[in-house]
Amino acid sequence: MEMSQYVVHPAVQVRNEDFGLLFYNSADTRLTFVKCGNSIQLTSTDDGVTRLMINCGNERDKEKVWNILQNLSTKGLIIEAGL
């Protein structure tokens, strides 16, 4: 399973938490809790873009992360940026 790079939508704030990630969408003021542990982490670039960094070892983790990414993308919290 090949994964693309994902960036956080500009209207969304996200932070690392003990359980995983917490997303805040300023467009609709909704919070989204993502229980992913360290499988998905945040990284910021010099241009201020926040990207998701994927850390999965086995196929089961990859499937779980893929489902999470699809859900976040459907909600408009992240944008697929390609490779």
**Tens of pLDDT along the chain (83 residues)?**
455 789 999 999 999 999 999 999 999 999 999 999 889 989 887 888 899 988 887 888 889 999 999 999 999 999 988 65
What does the pLDDT read at residue 83?
54
Which residues are CB-neighbours of 75 under 8 A, at least 6 positions away? 25, 32
What does the pLDDT read at residue 4?
72
What does the pLDDT read at residue 60?
83
Q: Which CATH architecture has domain 5-82?
A: Alpha-Beta Complex (3.90)
What does the pLDDT read at residue 45?
79
What does the pLDDT read at residue 5?
83
